[in-house]
Structure 1
Amino acid sequence: MERHRGPVADAGWRASARFAVRGALVCGVLFLGADLVAGGVTSGRAALAVGAACVLGLILWPARVTAGPGWLQVRWLWSVRRVDTGRLVLLRQLPGRAERMQLRDADGARVELDTEAVVGTPGLWLLLDRGVDASRRAGWLRRERVDAALLDRMGARAAECTLLGAAPPLPRPGVEEELDPHGS
């Protein structure tokens, strides 16, 4: 069985951060280019373009998920939230389009994170799964406070990612996959 010494971080975080920076840069260049084509760039319009690009970068900036034995942490720019995975009292899927989940521990600390961050990094999944098992054995995490379907989907996806070395998106519950228009 694989043992982790020290924290394990989301393997896809760097790529997501690069995407946020590139998206902000492209946005700024497009705004400045449009102003230049339209007759010139003033200092006010340049500041507006740079400000809009910075706002887009902040919106796109990913949260960084890190875990170690007994804990999981989510860091986003200025905030850091951490839960004790051995004392979880709630694990549920959050409503909405993106597959996100919420974890809450016995001390009231909670984190919200994208399930892909955990599933795409086998070490994170292993540490979370061990924490959920420890919480169940200790009596902290009761059956009615766990989204079992979410855990099953995540476990299947984590196994798939481990075997294939890739991270295709998680299927959404109740959403039928679209048929390929070419019939393949």
Structure 2
Amino acid sequence: MEHSYGSRCGERVEDPRWVTEVRWVGVGGAVVLGTLLAVDAGYGRLTWPRCALWAGLALLLCLVLLPPRITAGRGWIASRGVLVERRVRTDRLVAFHWDEGSGGAVRRVILHDTAGTRLELDVGVLTATPALWLLLEEGAREALRNGTLTRGSAALTRLANRVEQETVRAVLMASGLEETPRRLG
């Protein structure tokens, strides 16, 4: 489904949940570090080199668990990890794949643009941040009109319908009209 209100999104949209997720990763790392230091101190083996080792291990855990930062603008979407940023031109997509998953599997959107760049996104980020989804969909629809999007137009339509269903369901739940949440998928 194409929306005329996709242009209302600002120049740049970010996933607002990212800051909270980073905070929880930091809390988890601090808890792991505190536990390791307490156990080591309890056994009387805590030394400065061991403190540094446990701090390094906690930092490594935080880096591994750090979620990518998803941002989008008109005609592009990007995912920035610890070391690498991948940016795909949504208005020049050649493939749009939605891994619908099964059961508790993580669902992903996989994008390929004309430059050969590949980007994977968690569907949960798109359903939780409608402005990101609208920018992605607007760019993908532009690629479809331009003829570059040759694989995935059906997946784009199916995902658009699912995102809209989730948005309606979230509004109904927030207003108290629906009691039991249903999962995407």
- Pairwise same-fold verdict (TM > 0.5): yes
Tell me which residue corresponds to 2:84: 79
Q: Which amino acid aligns with 1:136?
A: L
Q: Which amino acid aligns with 2:51?
A: A
TM, length-normalised to structure 1: 0.81
Given that 2:126 and 2:132 are in contact with CA atoms closer than 8 Å, whether structure 1 keeps it comes out as yes
Q: Partners in 1 of 2:111 and 2:95 — Cα distance?
A: 6
Tell me which residue corresponds to 1:118: 126
Moved more, 36-45 or 18-27: 36-45
RMSD: 2.5
Partner-residue secondary structure (3-state), 2:166:
helix
Pair 1:153 & 2:166 matched: no
**Shift, 1:145, TM fit:** 6.5
Q: 1:27-176, aligned counterparts within 5 Å?
A: 27-94=32-99, 97-144=105-152, 147-148=155-156, 149-161=158-170, 170-172=183-185
Q: Which amino acid aligns with 1:21?
A: G
Q: What is the number of residues matched between the two proteins?
A: 171
Given that 2:95 and 2:151 are in contact with CA atoms closer than 8 Å, whether structure 1 keeps it comes out as no
Change (3 A) 1:143 1:40: closer
Change (3 A) 1:53 1:117: same
**Shift, 1:102, TM fit:** 1.3
**Shift, 1:4, TM fit:** 2.2
**Shift, 1:135, TM fit:** 1.4
Q: Partners in 2 of 1:79 and 1:159 — Cα distance?
A: 35
Moved more, 42-51 or 135-144: 135-144
Tell me which residue corresponds to 2:31: 26
Q: Partners in 1 of 2:82 and 2:12 — Cα distance?
A: 19
Q: Partners in 1 of 2:151 and 2:86 — Cα distance?
A: 24
Tell me which residue corresponds to 1:176: none
TM, length-normalised to structure 2: 0.80
Q: Partners in 2 of 1:30 and 1:169 — Cα distance?
A: 37
Q: Which has the higher helix share?
A: 2
Change (3 A) 1:162 1:132: farther
Can you list the C-alpha shifts for 1:41-73, whole angstroms capped at 9, x where unaligned?
022321221111011101111101101111111
Q: Partners in 2 of 1:12 and 1:70 — Cα distance?
A: 22
Can you list the C-alpha shifts for 1:92-149, whole angstroms capped at 9, x where unaligned?
1357932222111111112112121122111101111111211111111135565354
Tell me which residue corresponds to 1:178: none
